[in-house]
Chain A
Protein backbone atom coordinates (compact mmCIF):
# COMPACT_ATOMS: atom_id res chain seq x y z
CA UNK A 1 0.00 0.00 0.00
CA UNK A 2 2.80 2.33 0.90
CA UNK A 3 4.37 1.51 -2.39
CA UNK A 4 1.20 2.51 -4.19
CA UNK A 5 1.00 5.80 -2.37
CA UNK A 6 4.62 6.40 -3.18
CA UNK A 7 3.97 5.85 -6.88
CA UNK A 8 1.51 8.68 -7.09
CA UNK A 9 3.58 11.10 -5.04
CA UNK A 10 5.60 11.70 -8.19
CA UNK A 11 4.21 14.33 -10.54
CA UNK A 12 5.32 12.41 -13.63
CA UNK A 13 3.38 9.35 -12.47
CA UNK A 14 0.23 11.36 -11.81
CA UNK A 15 0.53 12.92 -15.26
CA UNK A 16 1.02 9.51 -16.83
CA UNK A 17 -2.02 8.22 -14.96
CA UNK A 18 -4.37 11.03 -16.00
CA UNK A 19 -3.29 11.17 -19.63
CA UNK A 20 -3.00 7.40 -19.87
CA UNK A 21 -6.49 6.67 -18.59
CA UNK A 22 -8.02 9.28 -20.89
CA UNK A 23 -6.18 8.00 -23.94
CA UNK A 24 -6.82 4.33 -23.15
CA UNK A 25 -10.47 5.17 -22.91
CA UNK A 26 -10.50 6.98 -26.25
CA UNK A 27 -8.51 4.25 -27.99
CA UNK A 28 -10.95 1.63 -26.74
CA UNK A 29 -13.82 3.69 -28.17
CA UNK A 30 -12.38 4.11 -31.65
CA UNK A 31 -11.19 0.51 -31.54
CA UNK A 32 -14.71 -0.92 -31.55
CA UNK A 33 -15.67 0.18 -35.09
CA UNK A 34 -12.14 -0.41 -36.39
CA UNK A 35 -12.00 -3.99 -35.16
CA UNK A 36 -15.60 -4.83 -36.07
CA UNK A 37 -15.16 -3.40 -39.57
CA UNK A 38 -12.02 -5.50 -39.89
CA UNK A 39 -9.92 -2.37 -40.26
CA UNK A 40 -7.67 -3.04 -37.27
CA UNK A 41 -4.51 -2.45 -39.24
CA UNK A 42 -5.54 1.14 -39.97
CA UNK A 43 -4.54 2.03 -36.39
CA UNK A 44 -1.15 0.49 -36.99
CA UNK A 45 -0.69 2.25 -40.31
CA UNK A 46 -1.65 5.63 -38.84
CA UNK A 47 0.78 5.22 -35.97
CA UNK A 48 3.61 4.85 -38.46
CA UNK A 49 2.45 7.98 -40.23
CA UNK A 50 2.41 9.73 -36.86
CA UNK A 51 5.99 8.55 -36.33
CA UNK A 52 7.06 10.06 -39.63
CA UNK A 53 5.23 13.29 -38.83
CA UNK A 54 6.82 13.53 -35.36
CA UNK A 55 10.27 13.03 -36.83
CA UNK A 56 9.76 15.67 -39.49
CA UNK A 57 8.27 18.09 -36.97
CA UNK A 58 11.36 17.65 -34.81
CA UNK A 59 13.69 18.22 -37.76
CA UNK A 60 11.81 21.35 -38.84
CA UNK A 61 11.36 22.58 -35.30
CA UNK A 62 7.54 22.41 -35.23
CA UNK A 63 5.46 21.36 -32.26
CA UNK A 64 5.11 17.59 -32.82
CA UNK A 65 1.47 16.98 -31.81
CA UNK A 66 0.13 20.03 -33.62
CA UNK A 67 2.03 19.08 -36.76
CA UNK A 68 1.24 15.38 -36.62
CA UNK A 69 -2.54 15.66 -36.19
CA UNK A 70 -3.33 17.25 -39.59
CA UNK A 71 -0.83 14.97 -41.35
CA UNK A 72 -2.34 11.85 -39.80
CA UNK A 73 -5.90 13.06 -40.45
CA UNK A 74 -5.08 13.48 -44.14
CA UNK A 75 -3.46 10.05 -44.28
CA UNK A 76 -6.46 8.48 -42.57
CA UNK A 77 -8.78 9.97 -45.21
CA UNK A 78 -6.45 8.58 -47.83
CA UNK A 79 -6.30 5.10 -46.30
CA UNK A 80 -10.05 4.91 -45.68
CA UNK A 81 -10.74 5.98 -49.25
CA UNK A 82 -8.30 3.42 -50.60
CA UNK A 83 -9.72 0.62 -48.49
CA UNK A 84 -13.24 1.46 -49.68
CA UNK A 85 -12.13 1.33 -53.27
CA UNK A 86 -12.45 -2.34 -54.12
CA UNK A 87 -9.93 -2.10 -56.95
CA UNK A 88 -7.10 -1.45 -54.55
CA UNK A 89 -6.24 -3.88 -51.83
CA UNK A 90 -6.78 -2.08 -48.52
CA UNK A 91 -4.08 -4.06 -46.72
CA UNK A 92 -1.54 -3.18 -49.36
CA UNK A 93 -2.52 0.48 -49.20
CA UNK A 94 -1.96 0.57 -45.45
CA UNK A 95 1.36 -1.23 -45.78
CA UNK A 96 2.57 1.21 -48.42
CA UNK A 97 1.55 4.28 -46.44
CA UNK A 98 2.95 3.04 -43.15
CA UNK A 99 6.28 1.80 -44.52
CA UNK A 100 6.81 5.00 -46.50
CA UNK A 101 6.04 7.20 -43.50
CA UNK A 102 8.40 5.18 -41.31
CA UNK A 103 11.14 5.49 -43.94
CA UNK A 104 10.59 9.23 -44.41
CA UNK A 105 10.76 9.81 -40.66
CA UNK A 106 13.96 7.82 -40.12
CA UNK A 107 15.51 9.34 -43.23
CA UNK A 108 14.72 12.91 -42.16
CA UNK A 109 16.18 12.42 -38.73
CA UNK A 110 19.37 10.85 -40.00
CA UNK A 111 20.20 13.32 -42.79
CA UNK A 112 19.73 16.47 -40.76
CA UNK A 113 22.76 16.96 -38.58
CA UNK A 114 22.79 18.43 -35.13
CA UNK A 115 19.44 17.04 -34.07
CA UNK A 116 19.37 14.80 -31.13
CA UNK A 117 16.21 12.76 -31.41
CA UNK A 118 15.61 9.73 -29.33
CA UNK A 119 13.91 7.54 -31.92
CA UNK A 120 13.26 4.98 -29.22
CA UNK A 121 10.84 7.29 -27.47
CA UNK A 122 8.83 7.64 -30.68
CA UNK A 123 8.84 3.93 -31.30
CA UNK A 124 8.10 2.76 -27.76
CA UNK A 125 6.63 5.83 -26.11
CA UNK A 126 7.81 8.13 -23.40
CA UNK A 127 4.96 7.93 -20.99
CA UNK A 128 6.92 9.07 -17.97
CA UNK A 129 8.30 12.20 -19.55
CA UNK A 130 5.07 14.06 -20.27
CA UNK A 131 5.30 17.79 -19.78
CA UNK A 132 2.57 20.07 -18.47
CA UNK A 133 1.56 21.17 -21.97
CA UNK A 134 1.36 17.51 -23.09
CA UNK A 135 -1.06 16.86 -20.25
CA UNK A 136 -3.20 19.85 -21.11
CA UNK A 137 -3.42 19.12 -24.83
CA UNK A 138 -4.13 15.44 -24.14
CA UNK A 139 -6.94 16.28 -21.73
CA UNK A 140 -8.56 18.75 -24.12
CA UNK A 141 -8.31 16.48 -27.16
CA UNK A 142 -9.47 13.40 -25.26
CA UNK A 143 -12.55 15.21 -24.03
CA UNK A 144 -13.22 16.40 -27.59
CA UNK A 145 -12.88 12.81 -28.87
CA UNK A 146 -15.21 11.53 -26.16
CA UNK A 147 -17.84 14.18 -26.86
CA UNK A 148 -17.73 13.68 -30.62
CA UNK A 149 -17.92 9.91 -30.20
CA UNK A 150 -20.94 10.09 -27.91
CA UNK A 151 -22.71 12.52 -30.26
CA UNK A 152 -22.08 10.30 -33.29
CA UNK A 153 -22.54 7.00 -31.43
CA UNK A 154 -25.75 5.83 -33.11
CA UNK A 155 -24.50 6.75 -36.55
CA UNK A 156 -21.18 5.05 -35.89
CA UNK A 157 -23.09 1.92 -34.88
CA UNK A 158 -25.14 1.95 -38.07
CA UNK A 159 -22.08 2.53 -40.24
CA UNK A 160 -20.15 -0.23 -38.50
CA UNK A 161 -22.94 -2.78 -38.72
CA UNK A 162 -24.15 -2.10 -42.24
CA UNK A 163 -22.86 0.89 -44.16
CA UNK A 164 -25.05 0.35 -47.21
CA UNK A 165 -28.24 0.33 -45.19
CA UNK A 166 -27.14 3.45 -43.31
CA UNK A 167 -26.50 5.13 -46.63
CA UNK A 168 -29.88 4.05 -47.99
CA UNK A 169 -31.74 5.75 -45.13
CA UNK A 170 -29.80 8.96 -45.57
CA UNK A 171 -27.09 8.76 -42.90
CA UNK A 172 -24.35 11.03 -44.21
CA UNK A 173 -21.82 8.28 -44.62
CA UNK A 174 -19.06 10.53 -45.96
CA UNK A 175 -19.41 12.96 -43.09
CA UNK A 176 -19.46 10.37 -40.34
CA UNK A 177 -16.61 8.38 -41.88
CA UNK A 178 -14.62 11.60 -41.95
CA UNK A 179 -15.49 12.35 -38.32
CA UNK A 180 -14.42 8.85 -37.43
CA UNK A 181 -11.16 9.19 -39.34
CA UNK A 182 -10.41 12.38 -37.41
CA UNK A 183 -11.17 10.63 -34.11
CA UNK A 184 -8.82 7.75 -34.99
CA UNK A 185 -6.06 10.12 -36.02
CA UNK A 186 -6.25 12.22 -32.86
CA UNK A 187 -6.23 9.09 -30.71
CA UNK A 188 -3.25 7.64 -32.56
CA UNK A 189 -1.21 10.85 -32.30
CA UNK A 190 -1.97 11.26 -28.61
CA UNK A 191 -1.39 7.59 -27.92
CA UNK A 192 1.91 7.64 -29.72
CA UNK A 193 3.48 9.88 -27.09
CA UNK A 194 2.29 7.38 -24.56
CA UNK A 195 2.82 3.99 -26.12
CA UNK A 196 5.00 4.63 -29.13
CA UNK A 197 4.35 3.97 -32.79
CA UNK A 198 4.85 0.24 -32.49
CA UNK A 199 2.55 -0.39 -29.56
CA UNK A 200 -0.33 2.10 -29.83
CA UNK A 201 -2.43 -0.15 -32.03
CA UNK A 202 -2.62 -2.65 -29.18
CA UNK A 203 -4.49 -0.07 -27.08
CA UNK A 204 -6.96 0.23 -29.95
CA UNK A 205 -7.44 -3.45 -30.72
CA UNK A 206 -7.18 -5.39 -27.45
CA UNK A 207 -10.08 -3.84 -25.47
CA UNK A 208 -12.62 -4.57 -28.22
CA UNK A 209 -11.30 -8.07 -28.77
CA UNK A 210 -11.44 -8.83 -25.05
CA UNK A 211 -14.85 -7.22 -24.58
CA UNK A 212 -16.42 -9.01 -27.53
CA UNK A 213 -15.33 -12.40 -26.16
CA UNK A 214 -17.74 -11.94 -23.27
CA UNK A 215 -20.30 -9.36 -24.33
CA UNK A 216 -22.53 -9.65 -27.38
CA UNK A 217 -24.24 -6.29 -27.80
CA UNK A 218 -22.60 -3.23 -29.30
CA UNK A 219 -23.19 -1.03 -26.27
CA UNK A 220 -21.79 -3.59 -23.84
CA UNK A 221 -18.72 -4.16 -26.03
CA UNK A 222 -18.09 -0.39 -26.09
CA UNK A 223 -18.56 0.02 -22.34
CA UNK A 224 -16.58 -3.09 -21.40
CA UNK A 225 -13.80 -2.01 -23.78
CA UNK A 226 -13.53 1.35 -22.01
CA UNK A 227 -13.26 -0.34 -18.60
CA UNK A 228 -10.87 -3.05 -19.74
CA UNK A 229 -8.65 -0.48 -21.39
CA UNK A 230 -8.50 1.90 -18.42
CA UNK A 231 -7.99 -0.84 -15.84
CA UNK A 232 -5.30 -2.55 -17.93
CA UNK A 233 -3.51 0.77 -18.28
CA UNK A 234 -3.48 1.48 -14.55
CA UNK A 235 -2.41 -2.08 -13.78
CA UNK A 236 0.35 -1.91 -16.38
CA UNK A 237 1.59 1.43 -15.06
CA UNK A 238 1.73 0.20 -11.47
CA UNK A 239 3.35 -3.13 -12.37
CA UNK A 240 5.96 -1.38 -14.51
CA UNK A 241 6.83 0.89 -11.59
CA UNK A 242 7.02 -1.90 -9.07
CA UNK A 243 8.99 -4.28 -11.28
CA UNK A 244 11.00 -1.63 -13.14
CA UNK A 245 9.82 -2.90 -16.52
CA UNK A 246 9.27 -0.74 -19.64
CA UNK A 247 5.88 0.90 -19.16
CA UNK A 248 4.35 0.65 -22.60
CA UNK A 249 5.23 -2.99 -23.14
CA UNK A 250 3.97 -3.86 -19.64
CA UNK A 251 0.63 -2.24 -20.49
CA UNK A 252 0.40 -4.22 -23.72
CA UNK A 253 1.20 -7.44 -21.86
CA UNK A 254 -1.52 -6.73 -19.28
CA UNK A 255 -3.95 -6.18 -22.18
CA UNK A 256 -2.84 -9.48 -23.66
CA UNK A 257 -3.38 -11.24 -20.34
CA UNK A 258 -6.88 -9.76 -20.05
CA UNK A 259 -7.66 -10.90 -23.58
CA UNK A 260 -6.53 -14.46 -22.85
CA UNK A 261 -8.58 -14.46 -19.65
CA UNK A 262 -11.66 -13.24 -21.56
CA UNK A 263 -11.11 -15.90 -24.20
CA UNK A 264 -10.88 -18.56 -21.49
CA UNK A 265 -14.04 -17.28 -19.81
CA UNK A 266 -15.97 -17.30 -23.08
CA UNK A 267 -14.89 -20.84 -23.93
CA UNK A 268 -15.92 -22.01 -20.44
CA UNK A 269 -19.26 -20.25 -20.93
CA UNK A 270 -19.78 -21.95 -24.27
CA UNK A 271 -19.09 -25.47 -23.04
Chain B
Protein backbone atom coordinates (compact mmCIF):
# COMPACT_ATOMS: atom_id res chain seq x y z
CA UNK B 1 0.00 0.00 0.00
CA UNK B 2 1.37 3.38 -0.93
CA UNK B 3 1.62 6.44 1.18
CA UNK B 4 -1.16 8.92 1.18
CA UNK B 5 -0.90 12.67 0.98
CA UNK B 6 -0.37 13.90 4.46
CA UNK B 7 0.19 17.56 4.80
CA UNK B 8 0.81 20.64 2.85
CA UNK B 9 4.22 20.36 1.37
CA UNK B 10 7.07 22.71 1.98
CA UNK B 11 8.81 24.08 -1.06
CA UNK B 12 12.04 22.42 -2.06
CA UNK B 13 14.09 25.24 -3.47
CA UNK B 14 16.73 23.05 -5.08
CA UNK B 15 14.49 20.82 -7.10
CA UNK B 16 11.97 23.58 -7.58
CA UNK B 17 9.15 21.33 -6.45
CA UNK B 18 6.84 20.86 -3.56
CA UNK B 19 7.88 17.92 -1.49
CA UNK B 20 6.27 16.08 1.30
CA UNK B 21 8.27 14.48 4.09
CA UNK B 22 5.93 11.57 4.15
CA UNK B 23 6.62 10.79 0.56
CA UNK B 24 10.34 10.68 1.12
CA UNK B 25 10.08 7.32 2.78
CA UNK B 26 10.20 4.42 0.44
CA UNK B 27 9.32 0.91 1.32
CA UNK B 28 11.33 -2.25 1.06
CA UNK B 29 9.71 -3.46 -2.10
CA UNK B 30 10.16 -0.18 -3.93
CA UNK B 31 6.44 0.36 -4.24
CA UNK B 32 5.49 3.33 -6.25
CA UNK B 33 4.41 5.88 -3.71
CA UNK B 34 1.07 7.30 -4.62
CA UNK B 35 0.83 10.87 -3.54
CA UNK B 36 -0.22 14.27 -4.64
CA UNK B 37 1.58 17.41 -3.74
CA UNK B 38 -0.59 20.24 -2.70
CA UNK B 39 -0.38 23.83 -3.71
CA UNK B 40 1.60 26.02 -1.40
CA UNK B 41 -0.10 28.24 1.07
CA UNK B 42 1.49 31.18 2.74
CA UNK B 43 1.61 29.13 5.92
CA UNK B 44 3.70 26.35 4.48
CA UNK B 45 6.25 28.62 2.93
CA UNK B 46 6.94 30.25 6.25
CA UNK B 47 7.14 26.81 7.82
CA UNK B 48 9.97 25.71 5.57
CA UNK B 49 11.87 23.04 7.43
CA UNK B 50 15.55 22.34 7.46
CA UNK B 51 16.48 18.76 6.92
CA UNK B 52 18.81 17.54 9.65
CA UNK B 53 19.55 14.05 8.38
CA UNK B 54 18.88 12.47 5.00
CA UNK B 55 18.99 8.74 4.46
CA UNK B 56 19.69 7.98 0.83
CA UNK B 57 19.12 4.42 -0.44
CA UNK B 58 20.41 3.28 2.90
CA UNK B 59 20.94 -0.42 3.59
CA UNK B 60 22.09 -1.54 7.02
CA UNK B 61 22.77 -4.94 8.51
CA UNK B 62 25.33 -7.32 9.88
CA UNK B 63 27.59 -9.89 8.24
CA UNK B 64 26.38 -9.26 4.69
CA UNK B 65 22.78 -9.71 5.77
CA UNK B 66 20.66 -6.64 5.31
CA UNK B 67 18.11 -5.78 7.96
CA UNK B 68 17.06 -2.50 6.39
CA UNK B 69 17.16 -2.05 2.64
CA UNK B 70 16.98 1.00 0.44
CA UNK B 71 15.63 3.33 3.05
CA UNK B 72 15.05 6.92 1.92
CA UNK B 73 13.83 9.53 4.34
CA UNK B 74 14.54 12.91 5.79
CA UNK B 75 14.49 13.97 9.38
CA UNK B 76 13.63 17.64 9.66
CA UNK B 77 14.72 20.02 12.35
CA UNK B 78 12.11 20.07 15.12
CA UNK B 79 10.69 16.64 14.32
CA UNK B 80 9.75 14.27 17.10
CA UNK B 81 9.74 10.89 15.44
CA UNK B 82 8.67 7.65 17.08
CA UNK B 83 10.25 4.56 15.54
CA UNK B 84 8.05 1.50 15.95
CA UNK B 85 8.06 -2.04 14.68
CA UNK B 86 8.40 -5.64 15.80
CA UNK B 87 11.60 -7.07 17.26
CA UNK B 88 14.22 -7.61 14.61
CA UNK B 89 12.68 -5.07 12.24
CA UNK B 90 15.80 -2.93 12.38
CA UNK B 91 14.88 -0.15 14.80
CA UNK B 92 18.10 -0.33 16.80
CA UNK B 93 20.07 -1.06 13.64
CA UNK B 94 18.83 2.19 12.12
CA UNK B 95 19.83 4.12 15.22
CA UNK B 96 23.27 2.55 15.21
CA UNK B 97 23.62 3.59 11.58
CA UNK B 98 22.65 7.18 12.30
CA UNK B 99 25.06 7.25 15.24
CA UNK B 100 27.81 5.90 12.97
CA UNK B 101 28.25 2.85 15.17
CA UNK B 102 27.44 0.75 12.12
CA UNK B 103 28.68 1.35 8.58
CA UNK B 104 26.07 1.42 5.80
CA UNK B 105 26.17 -1.57 3.48
CA UNK B 106 24.81 0.59 0.71
CA UNK B 107 23.67 4.17 0.32
CA UNK B 108 24.57 6.97 2.67
CA UNK B 109 23.49 9.20 5.50
CA UNK B 110 23.86 12.92 4.90
CA UNK B 111 24.06 15.13 7.96
CA UNK B 112 23.20 18.81 7.96
CA UNK B 113 26.43 20.72 8.21
CA UNK B 114 25.23 22.36 11.40
CA UNK B 115 24.86 18.96 13.00
CA UNK B 116 28.45 18.25 13.89
CA UNK B 117 29.40 14.64 14.10
CA UNK B 118 29.36 13.34 17.66
CA UNK B 119 27.10 16.15 18.76
CA UNK B 120 24.12 13.86 18.94
CA UNK B 121 22.65 12.92 22.29
CA UNK B 122 22.16 9.19 22.42
CA UNK B 123 20.33 7.48 25.23
CA UNK B 124 20.67 3.69 25.25
CA UNK B 125 18.11 1.30 26.67
CA UNK B 126 18.02 1.48 30.43
CA UNK B 127 18.90 -2.17 30.81
CA UNK B 128 22.23 -1.59 29.08
CA UNK B 129 23.39 0.59 31.97
CA UNK B 130 24.38 -1.01 35.27
CA UNK B 131 21.98 0.43 37.87
CA UNK B 132 24.43 -0.37 40.69
CA UNK B 133 27.36 1.39 39.10
CA UNK B 134 29.15 3.59 41.61
CA UNK B 135 28.90 7.06 40.08
CA UNK B 136 27.43 10.38 41.09
CA UNK B 137 24.77 11.99 38.92
CA UNK B 138 27.14 14.86 38.18
CA UNK B 139 29.94 12.51 37.05
CA UNK B 140 27.54 10.85 34.62
CA UNK B 141 26.02 14.03 33.20
CA UNK B 142 29.46 15.64 32.84
CA UNK B 143 30.60 12.68 30.74
CA UNK B 144 28.07 13.82 28.13
CA UNK B 145 30.37 16.71 27.29
CA UNK B 146 33.29 14.43 26.39
CA UNK B 147 32.59 15.18 22.71
CA UNK B 148 34.05 18.63 23.31
CA UNK B 149 37.19 17.31 24.99
CA UNK B 150 38.92 15.66 22.04
CA UNK B 151 42.43 14.74 23.13
CA UNK B 152 42.30 17.17 26.07
CA UNK B 153 42.43 15.19 29.32
CA UNK B 154 40.40 17.38 31.68
CA UNK B 155 37.11 19.26 31.66
CA UNK B 156 37.02 23.03 31.48
CA UNK B 157 34.58 25.37 33.15
CA UNK B 158 32.45 25.63 30.00
CA UNK B 159 31.83 21.86 30.03
CA UNK B 160 30.96 21.90 33.71
CA UNK B 161 28.48 24.70 33.01
CA UNK B 162 26.92 22.66 30.20
CA UNK B 163 26.42 19.73 32.57
CA UNK B 164 24.88 21.97 35.23
CA UNK B 165 22.57 23.53 32.65
CA UNK B 166 21.45 20.10 31.49
CA UNK B 167 20.57 19.22 35.08
CA UNK B 168 18.72 22.51 35.42
CA UNK B 169 16.75 22.00 32.19
CA UNK B 170 15.45 18.68 33.50
CA UNK B 171 14.89 20.12 36.97
CA UNK B 172 17.16 17.61 38.66
CA UNK B 173 19.91 19.91 39.99
CA UNK B 174 19.10 18.68 43.47
CA UNK B 175 20.20 15.18 42.45
CA UNK B 176 23.68 16.27 41.28
CA UNK B 177 25.54 14.92 44.30
CA UNK B 178 23.38 11.81 44.65
CA UNK B 179 24.57 8.36 43.71
CA UNK B 180 23.15 6.87 40.54
CA UNK B 181 22.37 3.60 42.30
CA UNK B 182 20.21 5.32 44.94
CA UNK B 183 17.82 6.83 42.39
CA UNK B 184 14.42 5.60 41.22
CA UNK B 185 14.03 4.26 37.69
CA UNK B 186 12.42 7.50 36.51
CA UNK B 187 15.18 9.62 38.03
CA UNK B 188 17.85 7.42 36.49
CA UNK B 189 16.32 7.90 33.06
CA UNK B 190 16.29 11.67 33.56
CA UNK B 191 19.96 11.53 34.49
CA UNK B 192 20.77 9.65 31.29
CA UNK B 193 18.67 12.15 29.37
CA UNK B 194 20.57 15.00 31.02
CA UNK B 195 23.82 13.36 29.91
CA UNK B 196 22.51 13.33 26.32
CA UNK B 197 21.48 16.96 26.65
CA UNK B 198 24.98 17.84 27.81
CA UNK B 199 26.19 16.36 24.53
CA UNK B 200 23.78 18.11 22.18
CA UNK B 201 21.44 21.00 21.59
CA UNK B 202 20.14 19.60 18.31
CA UNK B 203 19.28 15.93 18.15
CA UNK B 204 18.35 13.35 20.76
CA UNK B 205 18.21 9.67 19.85
CA UNK B 206 16.49 7.53 22.45
CA UNK B 207 16.22 3.75 22.53
CA UNK B 208 13.09 2.68 24.40
CA UNK B 209 13.70 5.20 27.16
CA UNK B 210 10.53 4.50 29.12
CA UNK B 211 10.54 0.73 29.05
CA UNK B 212 10.96 0.00 32.71
CA UNK B 213 9.11 2.99 34.06
CA UNK B 214 5.76 2.85 35.80
CA UNK B 215 2.85 4.79 34.33
CA UNK B 216 3.41 8.02 36.26
CA UNK B 217 7.14 8.11 35.68
CA UNK B 218 6.54 7.40 32.02
CA UNK B 219 4.02 10.21 31.62
CA UNK B 220 6.36 12.62 33.34
CA UNK B 221 9.30 11.47 31.20
CA UNK B 222 7.31 11.91 27.99
CA UNK B 223 6.20 15.35 29.11
CA UNK B 224 9.86 16.28 29.59
CA UNK B 225 10.62 15.08 26.06
CA UNK B 226 7.71 17.03 24.63
CA UNK B 227 8.94 20.16 26.39
CA UNK B 228 12.46 19.66 25.03
CA UNK B 229 11.02 19.21 21.54
CA UNK B 230 9.09 22.45 21.90
CA UNK B 231 12.38 24.15 22.73
CA UNK B 232 13.61 23.09 19.29
CA UNK B 233 15.41 19.82 19.93
CA UNK B 234 14.79 17.16 17.30
CA UNK B 235 13.98 13.77 18.82
CA UNK B 236 14.15 10.29 17.40
CA UNK B 237 12.76 7.67 19.76
CA UNK B 238 12.29 3.92 19.55
CA UNK B 239 9.17 3.07 21.48
CA UNK B 240 6.45 0.54 22.02
CA UNK B 241 4.02 3.08 23.43
CA UNK B 242 1.78 3.97 20.56
CA UNK B 243 -1.61 3.70 22.21
CA UNK B 244 -3.80 6.68 21.58
CA UNK B 245 -3.58 7.76 25.19
CA UNK B 246 0.19 7.91 25.13
CA UNK B 247 0.34 9.72 21.84
CA UNK B 248 3.64 11.53 21.56
CA UNK B 249 5.65 13.18 18.80
CA UNK B 250 4.63 14.46 15.39
CA UNK B 251 5.75 11.65 13.10
CA UNK B 252 5.98 7.89 13.08
CA UNK B 253 8.46 5.67 11.32
CA UNK B 254 7.03 2.18 11.31
CA UNK B 255 9.49 -0.49 10.28
CA UNK B 256 7.89 -3.76 9.36
CA UNK B 257 9.43 -6.21 6.97
CA UNK B 258 7.92 -5.44 3.56
CA UNK B 259 6.07 -2.34 4.67
CA UNK B 260 7.65 0.82 5.85
CA UNK B 261 5.61 3.85 6.81
CA UNK B 262 6.94 7.31 7.50
CA UNK B 263 4.46 10.07 8.05
CA UNK B 264 2.57 11.99 10.65
CA UNK B 265 0.94 10.39 13.65
CA UNK B 266 -2.68 10.80 12.52
CA UNK B 267 -2.04 9.11 9.21
CA UNK B 268 -0.24 6.32 10.96
CA UNK B 269 -3.35 5.55 12.99
CA UNK B 270 -5.55 5.82 9.90
CA UNK B 271 -3.33 3.29 8.21
CA UNK B 272 -3.38 1.01 11.22
CA UNK B 273 -7.21 1.16 11.29
CA UNK B 274 -7.39 0.41 7.58
CA UNK B 275 -5.42 -2.74 8.06
Query: A residues touching B (Cβ–Cβ < 8 Å)?
Result: 36, 150-155, 157-158, 161-162, 164-171, 212, 215-221
The interface bits of chain B over 188-204 (1 if a CB of A lies within 8 angstroms of the residue's CB, else 0) are 00000001000100000
The interface bits of chain B over 176-188 (1 if a CB of A lies within 8 angstroms of the residue's CB, else 0) are 0001111000000
Instruction: Chain A residues near B135: list those with CB within 8 A.
Output: 157, 161, 216-218
Contact call A216/B101, Cβ cutoff below 8 A: no
The complex places the Cα of A253 from the Cα of B133 at a distance, in Å, of: 26
Is residue B124 contacting chain A, with contact meaning CB distance below 8 A? yes
Given contact pairs A157-B139, A218-B135, A165 touches B153 in the complex (Cβ within 8 A): no
Instruction: Chain A residues near B124: list those with CB within 8 A.
Output: 162, 164-165
Interface residues on B, range: 20 to 34
The complex places the Cα of A157 from the Cα of B195 at a distance, in Å, of: 14
Residues facing A in B142-188 (CB within 8 A) are 143-144, 146-147, 149, 153-155, 179-182
Is residue B140 contacting chain A, with contact meaning CB distance below 8 A? yes
Contact call A212/B134, Cβ cutoff below 8 A: yes
The complex places the Cα of A171 from the Cα of B122 at a distance, in Å, of: 13
Tell which of B101, B133, B149, B182 has the most Cβ of chain A within 10 Å: B133
Is residue B223 contacting chain A, with contact meaning CB distance below 8 A? no
The interface bits of chain B over 119-143 (1 if a CB of A lies within 8 angstroms of the residue's CB, else 0) are 1101110001110011110011001
Contact call B143/A154, Cβ cutoff below 8 A: yes
**Closest beta carbon of chain A to B241's beta carbon, Å:** 22
Contact call A161/B129, Cβ cutoff below 8 A: yes
Is residue B259 contacting chain A, with contact meaning CB distance below 8 A? no
Is residue B28 contacting chain A, with contact meaning CB distance below 8 A? no
Given contacts A165-B143, A166-B146, 6 further A-B contacts (CB under 8 A): A36-B134, A152-B153, A161-B130, A161-B140, A165-B123, A167-B99
17 contacts between A and B (CB under 8 A): A36-B130, A154-B149, A157-B139, A161-B135, A162-B124, A164-B124, A165-B122, A165-B144, A168-B100, A168-B122, A169-B122, A169-B144, A170-B118, A216-B180, A216-B182, A217-B134, A217-B136
**Closest beta carbon of chain A to B182's beta carbon, Å:** 7
Instruction: Chain A residues near B118: list those with CB within 8 A.
Output: 168-170
**Closest beta carbon of chain B to A222's beta carbon, Å:** 9
The complex places the Cα of A161 from the Cα of B195 at a distance, in Å, of: 12
Closest partner residue, chain B, to A162 (CB atom): B129
A161: which of B117, B133, B149 is its contact (CB, 8 Å)?
A: B133
Instruction: Chain A residues near B199: list those with CB within 8 A.
Output: 169
Contact call A216/B143, Cβ cutoff below 8 A: no
Instruction: Chain B residues near A218: list those with CB within 8 A.
Output: 133-136, 139
**Closest beta carbon of chain A to B209's beta carbon, Å:** 13
Instruction: Chain B residues near A168: list those with CB within 8 A.
Output: 99-101, 118, 120, 122, 205
Instruction: Chain B residues near A169: list those with CB within 8 A.
Output: 118-120, 122, 144, 146-147, 199
Contact call B179/A171, Cβ cutoff below 8 A: no
Instruction: Chain B residues near A157: list those with CB within 8 A.
Output: 135, 139, 143
Tell which of B120, B143, B179 has the most Cβ of chain A within 10 Å: B143
Instruction: Chain B residues near A165: list those with CB within 8 A.
Output: 122-124, 143-144, 195
Closest partner residue, chain A, to B200 (CB atom): A169
The complex places the Cα of A162 from the Cα of B124 at a distance, in Å, of: 9
The complex places the Cα of A161 from the Cα of B192 at a distance, in Å, of: 11
Instruction: Chain A residues near B154: list those with CB within 8 A.
Output: 154
B143: which of A161, A212, A217 is its contact (CB, 8 Å)?
A: A161
A154: which of B119, B136, B146, B195 is its contact (CB, 8 Å)?
A: B146
Contact call B153/A153, Cβ cutoff below 8 A: yes
The complex places the Cα of A216 from the Cα of B181 at a distance, in Å, of: 8
The complex places the Cα of A65 from the Cα of B149 at a distance, in Å, of: 35
The complex places the Cα of A167 from the Cα of B120 at a distance, in Å, of: 11
The complex places the Cα of A155 from the Cα of B153 at a distance, in Å, of: 8
The complex places the Cα of A36 from the Cα of B130 at a distance, in Å, of: 9
Instruction: Chain B residues near A154: list those with CB within 8 A.
Output: 143, 146, 149, 153-155
